[in-house]
Amino acid sequence: MKKLFALMLVSILALSLFAGCSSDNEEPTPGTDPVENNETVKVGLGSVSTLAKSRDAEGETTAQAQVDTTIAAASFDSEGRVLTVAIDVAQARVAYDDEMQITTDTSAEVKSKLQLGDAYNMKPRSEIGKEWYEQMAELEAWMIGKTVAEIKAMDLEDNRPADADLTSSVTITVDTYIAALEKAYANAVEVENVDKVGLGVTISIAKSRSASEENTAQAQVDSTFSATAVDADGKVVATFIDVAQVRVAFDEDGAVTNDRAAELKTKYELGDAYNMKPRSEIGKEWDEQMAELEAWMIGKTISEIKGMDLEDNRPADADLTSSVTITVDTYILAVDRAVANGK
């Protein structure tokens, strides 16, 4: 963040000098580093999930669950302008054969679009010869300095950018990316001493099941993600962790039984409706336990967080044993990746 705004400041000052408009009594230039100017910085995390692209078994076509969770981690200045933004998509598929037995390796690592990089293989099908991550980098750069309202007002054609600054560099559809950013802004909270903000994602399909005598087939995609802000010393000043847990159920004939148009809420968005409290040995809902875990991470480096005492993958630290009993490995991994991706 500091490098970005430092470069902006240098460019503005250089233009002023060239025009002969500089003065020893000039006011500070707008757009400089908000942290150094003691301005308010807000950090937020937002996501949008869909299973609409899942397919039924029909004829020679076998069933396949597909869950797409679009995630945005962003920071904003006091006027709501985007300072940093990172967008990624957790796209996971679970394929079945004609007997509704899973053919996908559910133990294999599932990578997000950003993590796949060139392996996502959009470039050969792109009319501008750019991979997904390259186009997303262009879109994110265009968002910097704009408010969410200005971003939502982008000129579109067939849900693709028609803005002259983007038509040659971004041809992907953008509605879900903008929706995730809008949620990130709605969820944003004030944070002090922010140096970098990053997004971390981890995906699992391990809890998916094949059809059996007792149960019909069901795919389950768990996408865990974090927006984490650190200070100049690498200590966490804010972290937000959430999980999009999406189940795609099939009937005996391999047809999807979910309402494909229904809103899919994350664990945080579900709140009490996630219904962990009745099964919790400490009587706390998932979002309550996650708030405690996030608070514990504040002021710690990622090394200190990864060094947490664990027992059966649950916190054994005296500060957490009475407030957090959920398993924490995927949450720590998401934060670790967010810190590594900070910008």
What residue type is assigned to position 209 of the chain? R
For residues 275-301, give the mean pLDDT.
97
- Residue 282 near residue 323 (C-beta atoms within 8 A): yes
Q: Which among 64, 59, 82, 58 is positioned nearest to 72, based on CA atoms?
A: 82
Is 50 exceeded by the pLDDT of residue 35? no
* Positive/negative CA dihedral, 58, 62, 65, 70: negative
Question: What is the share, in percent, of the chain residues with pLDDT greater than 70?
Answer: 89
How remote is the C-alpha of 78 from its chain's centroid?
Answer: 22
Tokens of 329: 């490995």
Q: Predicted confidence band at 1 (pLDDT cuts at 50, 70, 90)?
A: low
What is the per-residue pLDDT across 39-57, written as a single tens digit (0 to 9) for each? 679 999 999 999 999 999 9
| Element housing 185 (H / E) | helix 175-187
Q: Of 3-7, 195-199, 231-235, 287-291, where does mean pLDDT reach its minimum? A: 3-7
User: 10 Å Cβ neighbour count for 128?
Assistant: 13
CA dihedral of residues 342, 86, 287, 202 (deg, nearest 10): -80
pTM exceeding 0.95: no
What is the per-residue pLDDT across 244-271, written as a single tens digit (0 to 9) for each? 999 999 999 999 999 999 999 999 999 9
